[in-house]
Amino acid sequence: MEQHSQGRPRIVVIMPARNSAATLEATVAKIPAGCVDQIVLVDNASRDQTVAIAERLGLTVVRHPVDRGFGGSIKTNFRTALAAGADYIVELHPDDQYPAEDIPALLARIQSGRYAMVIGSRFMPPRRALEYGMPWWKYVANRFLTLMNNLMLGLRLSEFHSGFRVYDARWVRDSRFEEFSDDFKLGFQLIGRAVEDGWAIAEIPAYCRYFPEMSSNPFRGSVVYGWGTLTESFRVLMTRIGLGTARKRPT
């Protein structure tokens, strides 16, 4: 792995942003000083001051003039982080929901083994999500999806759907993420690909606050996303039991 010039891994934070002006500065302020080398914000056709605030804060800004979806934003973030020489890529949404102060804990966990990613779980313990304001319908739906996803993927994770993660850039380069959805489903497709590639996935406890300014997938979008995770899990299950076609590894 290429190392940072000071002998440590290069850490790049990626932020998929859309109309995040109200929360962006507070999110960035909670990132512990000195733990990251660069912050990349991909603006997905915002109509507020997101870009102006990001530029004032010294972030690397990439603009999408039209809405390319959440997945499209993550793809651009990945490309930009890899081009910047990232060794580890931290996904942090700029809506001040997730604990940016826990980035060092994410990094410590991923550097302790061969992990494609480490997920900041809202469900360690499970009721923690409710304590921080998760709606009941989201809680119940998440618990059901997590059970089904674990059974089909052969994993034992407490959650799959958090937007607070760190990725090993070596795996990201090989993941062929450009093949994935431009919608929220991409987040789960990355997990399925890691399972197919034989990389491990780990977790640490993390909270997620719920408040009026937060970003959220609407009910209809949540239903579409949930169904997408089940179909993706089933596809990976078929591959695991020898009835599907595994992806070809780069030569």
Nearest CA to 100 among 169, 15, 187, 213?
Answer: 15
CB of 91 closer than 8 Å to CB of 39: no
Nearest CA to 167 among 196, 142, 194, 136?
Answer: 194
Residue 158 within a domain: yes
> What is d(CA 115, CA 123) in angstroms, rounded to the nearest whole number?
20
Residue 43 within a domain: yes
Q: Which residues pair with 62 in a beta bridge?
A: 42
Residue 40 within a domain: yes
Residue 2 within a domain: no
The helix/strand/coil state of 185 is coil
Residue 245 within a domain: no
Omega before 125 cis (within 30°)? yes
Tokens linked to 241: 């039991």
Band of pLDDT at residue 1, cut at 50, 70 and 90: very low
Tokens linked to 203: 């977790």
Predicted pLDDT of residue 95: 94
Tokens linked to 49: 């001051």
Residue 246 within a domain: no
> How many domains in the chain?
1
Predicted pLDDT of residue 222: 81
Tokens linked to 235: 């596809």
Could you tell me the residue range of the domain that residue 94 belongs to? 11-240
Residue 250 within a domain: no
**115-121 and 165-168: which strand pairing?**
antiparallel
| Interval 115-160: pLDDT, tens | 999 999 999 999 999 999 998 988 999 999 999 999 999 999 999 9
CATH of the domain at 118: 3.90.550.10
| Interval 41-56: pLDDT, tens | 999 999 999 999 999 9
User: What 8-state DSSP symbol labels residue 166?
Assistant: E
Residue 5 within a domain: no
